Amino acid sequence: MARCDLCGLEAGILRKRHAACEEKNKSGRARAQALVASSLLLPTGPGNLMAQLDEIGKDSFINHIEQKFIITQGWEKAVDAALEDGVLTVDEEQTLVKSAQGLSLTQQDLDTNGAYSRVAKAAVIRELLEGKLPQRVTVVGEVPFNFQKGENLLWLFPGATYLEQRMRTHYEGSYQGVSVRVARGLYYRTGGFRGRPVSTAEMVNLGQGSFGITERHMYFSGPSKAFRVRYDKIVSFTAYSDGIGFQRDAQTAKPQVFITGDGWFTYNLVVNLAKRL
């Protein structure tokens, strides 16, 4: 007879766990997660959070592996709460960082679902709006850009997709005229094909590469394309949910797009840097 994987007692034939144990575990996980989320934004930090979580864990069959997962989820919910108004204050950032350190959570733990990156991005935008130049990027290895003197890398998107508008031309039309029978089964057609060129614009994927942001330029380096664009040479920006589009200040320039996965951050970062320049 199988034993319940939560309490360890006999669960019955073909049963993995008791229904009551499963309900206790589910309820305890929800209480623990809510406790973490509400505690992490308090000025005092997590306090005796771990002791409270251990107590909930004993009653709800929550082991230490599950507990760490719950703590991480709770921290992510605390980030959601801090960013609900669209602004991350210095106090909120410091409290989140202090809580993570107090709970021995690593950057890798916190960025499982991108929460740590969201905090860093929100802090970068806040500093820009305060007139500061963010210095939060640390790149391991070589950067594929030749920066100008005094330039600083403010953010790097290592797997950005570059798109460029191209015009495609095809002909549309039909044969004009009439068919005249000249013999049995043989016809002679007067007139000919009259068509017109039709041009359509489409965005062409030119590959993935590194997309870097400095205080003066946007840089891109891919397998077949590499360039930099100075902000004051751009006439307009377009915000997309997953990236940013821009139009250079040139008569023959075509729209270009970078897909970064985070359109809100990319647009606000670039536009505020352009204003600063």
pLDDT, tens digit (0-9, with 9 covering 90-100), for 66-94: 899 989 988 998 899 899 988 899 999 99
Q: How many CB atoms lie within 10 A of CB 259?
A: 22
Amino acid found at 40 = L
pLDDT band at 242, cuts 50/70/90?
very high
Please check the confidence at residue 115 and state whether its pLDDT lies above 80.
yes
Q: What is the pTM of this model?
A: 0.77
Q: If 0-12 CB within 10 Å is exposed, 13-18 middle and 19+ buried, where does residue 157 land?
A: buried
What's the CATH fold of domain 153-167+201-276? Answer: PH-domain like (2.30.29)
Mean pLDDT of 105-124: 93
Which residues on adjacent β-strands are paired with residue 237?
A: 246
Backbone angles phi, psi at 202, to 5 degrees: -145, 150
d(CA 79, CA 193): 65
Which residues on adjacent β-strands are paired with residue 243?
A: 240, 259
Cβ atoms of residues 167 and 201 within 8 Å: yes
* Average predicted confidence (pLDDT) for the chain: 87
> Would you list the domain boundaries of the chain?
2-129, 153-167+201-276
d(CA 219, CA 225): 11
Q: Tell me, what's the pLDDT at 153? A: 95
pLDDT, tens digit (0-9, with 9 covering 90-100), for 170-222: 566 655 555 656 566 665 655 555 567 666 778 899 999 999 999 999 999 99
